[in-house]
Amino acid sequence: MNRMNRKGMKKTLCIALWAMAGAQLASAQIAPVSASIPFIAFGGSTAPGNVNSWTTEFTFTNLGSTAAALNLRWYGVTGQPLSVPVVGATRATTHQFVLAPSATLNFLLDNTEDALTSGWVAVDINGSVSGQAIFHYDLTGRPEYSTAAPLIRNGANNNLILLGGGVPVSTVATPVTLALPFNNVGNITGLSFANITSVAQVLTLNYLDLTGAVLMTQTTPLAPGALSALPTSDPRLANQKGTVVIAGDGSPYSAIAFVQGTGANSGTLATLLPITQ
């Protein structure tokens, strides 16, 4: 394996991917979001003998007895609409589909047209549709690595309403505490937060070890519609595992974490789901 691939194996899966979510703008206008997937990734090198790329696969199933409409709105890390290439369809900032009763929609984002790109997707559903995203990472000389992330609903299911701490803004019972597990023992954990509103917010992340002791605290700003994706790479978190307890201002956001193996664990990739109360 060449030097670039060795470095890609070590860094691309989490560190370089999360580092892409840097600059943020404050002008995005986000229509109400009923469901979302708080991270997508596609693109990278697909040159023969030097593949180092990501794609995201989507699967949606209509569990109802009537046809259902599905609208996907893609956003980049700044919160601006993101033009996404769908295999077999056009490149666009939105994609619409209609699912027949009991039908399943399956499609991929094209990984051959762009440099490595990340963002998130708002999912507008009319009917009994549910689904998930599946992330695929390909690197020359290695097997494909993949993991899945569920569709997260906002306001429709108490267990999946993701809000920051503070005064709830939904009219139904909502959790005001959210935590994400992290595991940096032989791994590195990446966190992803999508602001699903048109209002800027700031999240405070409190990293706790397994005993509940605070290891460190940091803040991450979220411009309207923006994505904040970051690795838990601070030296104070090295060889630690625990939870990241998030405090916000009550504005809705969507969150998920991924853990990628390092060293002897290289190649493992898993999704860590939020813990809510």
Q: What is the b/e burial string over 86-125, where b = at least 16 CB atoms within 10 angstroms of the residue's CB? A: beeeeeeeebebebeeeeebebbbbbeebebbbbbbbbbb
Map tokens 């892409």 to a residue: 20
Q: Where are the domains of the chain?
A: 3-276
Q: CA–CA separation, 140 vs 48, rounded Å? A: 9
- 276 band by pLDDT with thresholds 50, 70 and 90: confident
Residue 4 is predicted with a pLDDT of 36
Map tokens 């019972």 to a residue: 173
**Average pLDDT of the chain?**
83
- Comparing CA positions, the residue from 181, 190, 162 lying closest to residue 250 is 162
Q: What phi and psi, each to the nearest 5 degrees, are found at residue 87?
A: -60, 125
**136 to 42, 133, 167, 207, 258: CA distances (angstroms):** 9, 10, 38, 28, 13
Q: CA–CA separation, 82 vs 200, rounded Å? A: 19
pLDDT tens per residue, range 70-103: 999 999 999 999 999 999 999 999 999 999 999 9
β-pairing, 214-222 vs 84-85, is unpaired
Residue 227: Cβ within 10 Å count: 27
CB 122 within 8 A of CB 35: yes
The domain 3-276 is classified under which CATH number: 1.10.357.10, 2.60.290.11, 3.20.10.10, 3.40.50.2300? 2.60.290.11
Give the predicted TM-score (pTM) of the model: 0.85
Residue 155 is predicted with a pLDDT of 53
Residue 275 is predicted with a pLDDT of 81
pLDDT tens per residue, range 160-217: 334 333 333 333 334 457 899 999 999 999 999 999 999 999 999 999 999 999 999 9
